[in-house]
Structure 1
Amino acid sequence: MQLRTIEYFVTLAREGHFGRAAALCGVTQPTLSAGINALEDELGVRLVLRDRRFAGLTTEGEAALPWAQQLLADVGGLRDATQMPVGGDVTGVLRMGIIPAAMPVCGAFVAALRELHPQVTVQIAALTSRQIERALGGYEIDVGLTYLDNEPLPDVISVTLYRETQIFATAATGPLAAEGTIGWAEAVAQPLCLLAPDMQNRRILDAHLSSLGLVVRPVAMANSYAALLSMVRMAGLSCIMPHTYAQTVAADPAFRVLAFDRPARPQGVGLVVPNRHPSSVMARLALSCGRSSQLRHRLAEVGGVS
């Protein structure tokens, strides 16, 4: 059984498209198809449903996928472990999935990691908390930065980095610009733009408002804080967002940041890696950085994060 054909299978399952999978594997589509056919012949079962194009995995393919993913991850871990320089700098790529609410602190993590391991490259993807869970399970990322208390991920090792609260961002020329604080009832009465309900930050907000007997009906929704801030700036809307964005928003004269007079319960945010033995080199690296004084120092530079 060749590792290359297993890589073809895992990549096709992830991409759901023969052409994209072949391009990512650096081969032609016929070569990828032939490799998967060879793997199926060796196993004696069909793994992939085909109807002139990819139509999904068979029941046997679904059962085989986690083993194939684990096998590739174990081989990668073996290479990392054997190529680790004795007493030298660690090298390689640390793959990281981060929820949008925590994106403002990614610079602090990368800065601390560069102090500790300057030869490591960081590859960051913006993912929802549910996507992070799937990506960790599928060996597609090494570490996630996500919520820890609300909808906690199963079977992970975590390191808390900070506790998140909420701020109210509005236009500097708007009717609330002169206020210092705002109540929740007044906030939800404004024309708002918010994250979509498939984002955990929005679900946390909805649960808090429900506990106060309030319901929010935003004018617009998005899955990007850049899009939300654009709507605050250009469309005259306001937004409830994590305090991690306070420094960015306050630095722009187009915005005004208000605190809530009764803050919501803070939510723990931190690093998560799969609870596997042995753990990967990059997973151990991420946890070590998460516990380091270098990262604590960098987080202190992000407004309100500690």
Structure 2
Amino acid sequence: MDIKQLKFLIALDKTRHFGKAAELCHVTQPTLSMRLRALEDELNLVLVARGQRFEGFTEAGERVLAWARTLLTAYDGLQAEAANCSGQLVGKLRIGMVPLASLNPMALVKPLIQQYPELHFELLSMSSEQIIDGLSRNQLDLGLCYLDHINTDHFEAIELTSTSMGLLHDARFFQFDQAELTWESLNDIPLGMLTRGMHYRQSIALSFRSRGLDPHPILESDSTFQLIQAVSAGICCAIMPLQVGMEALNDNLRMMPISGAHTAAPMGILMRRTEPRSALTEKCFEEARSIFAPPDA
């Protein structure tokens, strides 16, 4: 067994096609098929269901695939760690982020890119629970999420402020005269919201319920981009974080502050306390602390 065989297996999972997987790995299709059969022979397992074309993975194949992902992550981390021990900060930083937060992740990514041009970034939109799980399994390096259920024995955290909210709307379809909106004034406005279960959505629901209000959004999505598209189309307005520049995405978008509107829990940047923890992760976490932590922290 070697790393290339595991890469071939993961490429097949990504493309679901033998020819495309071979192209992705820069080998011929017969080479890829031969190396995967050799892996099956070594493990004495059938990993891939084959017909005239790729038909999926067997149950054993799915289990081996999960291990292959873990091993390749460790392999990439080992290579980056070796470079970092030599004084180079290289490799991929995997950051999980909740969909809507008052922290623009580019405020961290941009200075890191400027200081360490060999770095690469993988940004993933996830729930807080998924981020905690990803950090625990070493599938993420850093997480940007809510801190209300964080065990500080397991994670180091840079605490940020709670997220303030405003109403994002398109001025071609909606106009507001007041300088600041109230929750009561939003009850009859067509709203687009994140899907239920997301922490940001729960904070909004709590704010409405505490005032005896029960709005019914006309559109729900787990994609921030789709919510912004709906706002730009005049379908609805959306309760979004303030001070992240969403209103600058086009000339017609406006953001109105909402009185007393903020998430129920503060945000934070997390790093796992336990090993394996790469020098790359530790350095980027300290850079984040210098960028976001208060001067007297």
**Shorter-chain TM-score tier:** 0.7 to 0.9
Contact 2:173 2:234 in 1 (8 A): no
Structure 1 residue 101, shift from structure 2 partner: 1.6
1:284 aligns to what? 282
The aligned runs of 1:210-249 (5 Å cut-off) are 210-235=209-234, 237-245=236-244, 247-249=245-247
Matched to 2:47, the amino acid is: L
1:8 aligns to what? 8
Structure 1 residue 266, shift from structure 2 partner: 3.8
1:70 aligns to what? 70
RMSD: 3.7
Task: Find the residue that maps to 2:169 and give its secondary structure.
Answer: strand
Q: 1:265 to 1:230 in 2, by over 3 A?
A: closer
Matched to 1:170, the amino acid is: H
2:176 aligns to what? 177
Structure 1 residue 274, shift from structure 2 partner: 4.9
Structure 1 residue 155, shift from structure 2 partner: 6.1
Q: 1:209 to 1:162 in 2, by over 3 A?
A: same
- TM superposition score normalised by structure 1: 0.76
Greater CA deviation, 135-144 or 278-287?
Answer: 135-144
1:43 aligns to what? 43
1:303 aligns to what? none
Contact 2:155 2:272 in 1 (8 A): yes
Aligned residues, how many? 294
Give the whole-Å Cα distance in 2 for the aligned partners of 1:262 and 1:177: 18
Greater CA deviation, 279-288 or 139-148?
Answer: 139-148
Greater CA deviation, 9-18 or 186-195?
Answer: 9-18
Structure 1 residue 132, shift from structure 2 partner: 4.9
Deviations 1:244-263 (A, max 9, x none): 43x44279763443332333
Structure 1 residue 44, shift from structure 2 partner: 0.9
Give the whole-Å Cα distance in 2 for the aligned partners of 1:157 and 1:20: 41
Gaps of 5+ in 1: 298-306
2:265 to 258, 264, 267: 267
Matched to 1:149, the amino acid is: D
- TM superposition score normalised by structure 2: 0.78
Q: 1:232 to 1:218 in 2, by over 3 A?
A: same
Gaps of 5+ in 2: none
Matched to 2:81, the amino acid is: A
Structure 1 residue 161, shift from structure 2 partner: 3.8
The aligned runs of 1:1-306 (5 Å cut-off) are 1-84=1-84, 86=86, 88-102=87-101, 105-114=104-113, 117-129=115-127, 132=131, 141-149=140-148, 157-172=156-171, 177-197=176-196, 199-235=198-234, 237-245=236-244, 247-249=245-247, 254-274=252-272, 276-292=274-290, 294-296=291-293
* Identical counterparts, % of pairs: 28
Contact 1:193 1:221 in 2 (8 A): yes
- Bigger share in helix: 1
